[in-house]
Amino acid sequence: MHKAGFVNIIGNPNVGKSTLMNAFVGEKLSIITSKAQTTRHRILGIVNGDDFQVILSDTPGIIKPAYELQASMMDFVKSAFDDADVLIYMVEIGEQELKDEAFFKKITNSKIPVLLLLNKIDKSDQEQLEAQVQLWSEKVPNAEIYPISALEGFNVKEVFGRIIELLPESPAYYPKDQLTDRPERFFVNETIREKILIHYKKEIPYAVEIDTEEFFEEENIIRMRSVIMVERETQKGIIIGHKGAALKRVGVEARKDLELFFGKQVHLELYVKVNKNWRSDQKQLKRFGYN
Ligand SMILES: Nc1nc2c(ncn2[C@@H]2O[C@H](COP(=O)(O)OP(=O)(O)OP(=O)(O)O)[C@@H](O)[C@H]2O)c(=O)[nH]1
Ligand SMILES: [Mg+2]
């Protein structure tokens, strides 16, 4: 018997959804930072076995959208409700409520199995943990609750075992050697964006989009050229920094990660361009892969 299905991870921003998907897949497919709204897309991570294929979806954290980009991000979350065979609702220790009532109702009224993962238990003690399990079992009575630490790997294997049990009988949806639905350039974009989230403050990371215009693989090196788009001229100056030092740091750190990811030497050229109000422009958003 062969099992396969879609296991979609949803929850508030910053609870550890991407950390969990990467832990399941064993590769850094999704970028991870301590800032909310790190993930902007729905990203598939596929775990293949002889008799199973688990297609995980990492999704953006649930927020009330304030501009078009965020509205598209929430459309990715909506789509994750539509095709799930198993729903993973991730919460973190100390968190109270999902910020969106409608999404919360979708979870509590779900006809498909819901695994509620109580994450970051490495930061809590037994007493707090027991209180949280009690709280969530009352809030989401249809869910099976698992305390986990996505970061330290606690209970991750056990949850994966339960996922396999819950998956329907089905042939594989994707070729068995496929790891994700995303092209190479997407990972270049995301790696650069991760460095920007880490090194720039306030609004800057949220006003940035990356477009990798060139990706040439040669025998011993991959040559890439990417543009960092910002919304305003002042943001361009901040990204570049004094004598270009800030931009250079982004480039060096991104290149190191990309060399690990692709297992090959990388040459990365970065430049910055103003693309006015791209976050609110439907056409631009479509071009950058937000439907
Ligand atoms: N202590 C602790 N930190 C964790 C754990 N899992 C994730 N984190 C941290 O929480 C932060 C957010 O992790 P992400 O995986 O990016 O969270 P996310 O839910 O994907 O966030 P968005 O994409 O912004 O919605 C990072 O700093 C992680 O290192 C955990 O089990 N324990
Ligand atoms: Mg994420």
**Which of these, 41, 84, 87, lies nearest to 60 by C-alpha position?**
41
At position 8, the amino acid (one-letter code) is: N
Ligand 2 centroid to Cα of residue 33, in Å, is 8
Q: Judge if the beta carbon of residue 31 lies within 6 A of ligand 1.
A: no
| pLDDT above 70 coverage of the chain, percent | 99
Q: Which of 22, 28, 38, 88 to mutate to test the pocket of ligand 1 (most atoms within 8 A of CB)?
A: 38
Ligand 2 centroid to Cα of residue 70, in Å, is 14
Homologous superfamily in CATH for domain 184-288: K homology (KH) domain (3.30.300.20)
Return residue ranges of the chain for CATH 3.40.50.300: 3-166
Taking only Cα atoms into account, the Rg of the chain, rounded to an integer number of angstroms, comes to: 20
Return residue ranges of the chain for CATH 3.30.300.20: 184-288
| pLDDT above 90 coverage of the chain, percent | 95
pLDDT for residue 139 is more than 90: yes
Residues 6 or more apart from 82 whose CB is under 8 A from it?
none
* Structure tokens, 32: 């991870």
Task: Name the residues around ion ligand 2, CB cutoff 5 A.
Answer: 17-18, 38-39
Q: Judge if the beta carbon of residue 158 lies within 6 A of ligand 1.
A: no
Q: What pLDDT score does 291 carry?
A: 74
Q: What pLDDT score does 100 carry?
A: 80
What's the half-sphere exposure (Cβ side, CA atoms, 13 Å) at 31?
A: 25
Residue whose CA is at the smallest distance from ligand 1 atom 32: 120
pTM of the predicted protein model: 0.95
pLDDT for residue 202 is more than 90: no
Distance (Å, rounded) from C-alpha 28 to C-alpha 204?
24
Give the ligand with the smallest distance to the CA of 62.
Answer: 1
CB–CB of 206/37 below 8 Å? yes
Distance (Å, rounded) from C-alpha 112 to C-alpha 45?
20
Which stretch of DSSP H or E encloses residue 4?
strand 3-11
Q: What pLDDT score does 96 carry?
A: 66
pLDDT for residue 101 is more than 90: no
DSSP state for residue 188 in the 8-state scheme: H
* Structure tokens, 148: 């986990």
Name the CATH architecture for the domain at 3-166: 3-Layer(aba) Sandwich (3.40)
Distance (Å, rounded) from C-alpha 77 to C-alpha 12?
11
Q: Judge if the beta carbon of residue 17 lies within 6 A of ligand 1.
A: yes
Q: Which of 21, 37, 151 to mutate to test the pocket of ligand 1 (most atoms within 8 A of CB)?
A: 151
